[in-house]
Chains A and B, each alone.
Chain A
Amino acid sequence: MSDHALVEGLAGLASRVDALSHLTEGDDSRTLEEQEDRLAKLTLVAIALDMDATNAKYKDAVNRVQGAIDAIGDGDRRIRNVAQVISKVAKALDVAEKLITKLAGV
């Protein structure tokens, strides 16, 4: 079974992280920009790959990405804990990167 939940999640998270990077300054902003760059690359690779949506690691990656999206919310100025968002995005990235590099056979 194949679906596109991870692609949609990664693209949506990249867009939110980009918006948040413009609302922050200094190290936080630079970290978010780097994360947005990694998310964009992952999105492109995920589109090209055929992924099994029933795979437990796939589901975990989708959940982590969704968790990070929820942590950002609307990405507006109400964001209080940027450090927590960065941490959640980092975890989602790690899980998704491991899954995708494995599926890509590298």
Chain B
Amino acid sequence: MNTERRIAPPGARLLLALVVLGAVSAGCGAAVPTGRFDALAEASRGVESKTAQTDADFIKLTRRFMTFSPAPGPYRADSFAPVVDVGGTRVDFDFGPRLAPRQAALGVLAAYTEALAAFARKDYQGELDQATQSLGASAQLLASHASSSSAVKQGAGVLATVVNGLGHEVTERMRRATLRKAMDDAAPGVTAIVAFVKEINGLAATAVTTMRDQVIRRANSLTVADGPARLQLNEVVEGMIGDSSAVLAELKQGSTAADAIVPAHSEIRDALDRDDRAILEKLQTLVAEVKRLQRINASLK
């Protein structure tokens, strides 16, 4: 057995040292890779815009539910408003105020990721200003809603503070260090916003299931003779069931896509310490989940 230690020749050692030095300097002074920040921003904006469409569909579904539960008595302008009888009292169940803070929270998140993407580029000031304005407006909306949780308000505040701290002219080395700190500071805020989005999606899914089941029960209690009237009723009930399933799928996938933002954000942050060319698997997963979300086509009539 040969126990002789192999010692690399001086030339090879120098080459190895240069490679190590190159790798270290790539992690410190090289230009920040902007594509991954752009992808994160695009994905966050994608979740926000698709959620807005889901909410519009959800409100349409509520209107359809009300055609099966109109206010008693003769028709009035508000006969189909979202109001139900509770213990002999008419009580409003408008979901709009419950959904609005979630949209504002997603707006904060999207503006934060856009601010990061802008800051990662050399000529960033204009876009950064725009993202800062957008974030401020969404944070203000979020704060104005009574049903926003304190956790999500705090989370939005954290992101607003982080983005405000990005505003100064920097060298490439400082840019990387600033992004590292910003993403570290923002991480709890991103997590709080995603948790809030999932919570509201869960409530919305419960509402959709409840309305669908009520419509089915009421349709079963109707006495409609076979013929055109029965076919019309079939069509309405089938539409309610199909559209409910589509909105439920949107809500579920919306939560999955939002959930993928946290690990992708963390992965991009960690990659600032490493090789810039590494493939970011969590970011790829996020982009794939957002594409799945966008493919669900449930726009209701």
A28 within 8 A of B: no
Partner of A104, one of B92, B199, B207: B92
Q: Are B97 and A106 in contact (CB under 8 A)?
A: no
In the bound complex, how far is the Cα of B284 from the Cα of A4, in angstroms?
A: 33
Partner of B207, one of A47, A94, A97, A100: A47
Do A47 and B203 contact each other (CB < 8 Å), given the known contacts A11-B209, A36-B217? yes
Partner of A44, one of B93, B147, B199: B93
In the bound complex, how far is the Cα of B211 from the Cα of A43, in angstroms?
A: 10
Residues of A1-59 whose CB lies within 8 A of B: 2, 4, 7-8, 11, 14-15, 18, 33, 36-38, 40-45, 47-48, 50
Q: Are B93 and A45 in contact (CB under 8 A)?
A: yes
B94 within 8 A of A: yes
A contact residues, total (Cβ < 8 Å): 28
Do A41 and B207 contact each other (CB < 8 Å), given the known contacts A48-B95, A48-B98? no
Q: Are A104 and B203 in contact (CB under 8 A)?
A: no
Q: Are B90 and A106 in contact (CB under 8 A)?
A: yes
| Residues of chain A with a CB closer than 8 A to B98's CB | 47-48, 50
| Residues of chain A with a CB closer than 8 A to B169's CB | none
A101 within 8 A of B: yes
Q: Are A11 and B86 in contact (CB under 8 A)?
A: no
B130 within 8 A of A: no
Residues of A82-106 whose CB lies within 8 A of B: 94, 97-98, 100-101, 104, 106
Do A44 and B87 contact each other (CB < 8 Å), given the known contacts A18-B213, A37-B214, A104-B92? no
Q: Are B147 and A50 in contact (CB under 8 A)?
A: yes
Residues of B148-196 whose CB lies within 8 A of A: 149
Q: Are B213 and A100 in contact (CB under 8 A)?
A: no
B239 within 8 A of A: no
Residues of B99-117 whose CB lies within 8 A of A: none
| Residues of chain A with a CB closer than 8 A to B147's CB | 2, 50
| Residues of chain A with a CB closer than 8 A to B213's CB | 14-15, 18, 40
In the bound complex, how far is the Cα of B92 from the Cα of A45, in angstroms?
A: 7
In the bound complex, how far is the Cα of B217 from the Cα of A50, in angstroms?
A: 28
B21 within 8 A of A: no
CB of A13, distance to nearest CB on chain B (Å):
12
In the bound complex, how far is the Cα of B217 from the Cα of A38, in angstroms?
A: 13
17 contacts between A and B (CB under 8 A): A7-B206, A11-B209, A14-B210, A33-B217, A37-B214, A40-B210, A41-B85, A44-B211, A45-B86, A45-B91, A45-B93, A47-B207, A48-B82, A48-B92, A48-B98, A98-B87, A104-B86
Q: Which residues of A contact B (CB under 8 A)?
A: 2, 4, 7-8, 11, 14-15, 18, 33, 36-38, 40-45, 47-48, 50, 94, 97-98, 100-101, 104, 106
Please provide the 10 A-B residue pairs with the shortest distance between their CB atoms, ordered closest to farther: A97-B87, A41-B84, A50-B147, A48-B93, A44-B93, A45-B93, A104-B91, A43-B210, A47-B207, A106-B89
